[in-house]
Structure 1
Amino acid sequence: MNKRLKPLPTFATEAQERAYWESHDSSEHLDWSQAQKVALPNLKPTTKTISLRLPQHLLDSIKVAANARDVPYQSLIKVWLQEKLHRH
């Protein structure tokens, strides 16, 4: 990329920086063609709470299976859902 890049400004506060980036394009300051992928292994994925209605006998069976594995039943449900998605 032969485009001359502008120097990155300095900001006194986070609010000033936020206002600047809301009205400016980062490609004026950075050569994104030189960007590299980065791995952030310690980040946890965001989760969302949902409500799921299950028949009582199904929930009881899941809890028994979770207890046999010594894991929380909600964690076991997440593992099973993830496994099912990977198969399809």
Structure 2
Amino acid sequence: MHIDELHKFSDGTLNDVRIALDDRLKGIHMQYLPQTIWRRNDKDRAAAMIHAIDKQLKTKRIMRSLENFFGGRLYEGDFRLLQRTM
């Protein structure tokens, strides 16, 4: 999977991929992860992928919040928090 293919996934899938990459990068051995040796280049690529996933998830959260705030839809969050930000 390449960084430019991240737009195809939903938030839940991106979170799962991010967690798996982060576990692998930190050296945590789980049953669902393959037991191969990662080279420095693989670790750098995984770190770049994690950074790109975090950036995309943050952008999606911001856009969803702005759509709820300015879109005229009912805000399903905490109304006291919404009033405090106005």
TM-score by length of 1: 0.24
> Which one has the bigger helix percentage?
2
Q: Which has the higher contact order (CA 8 A, sep 6+)?
A: 2
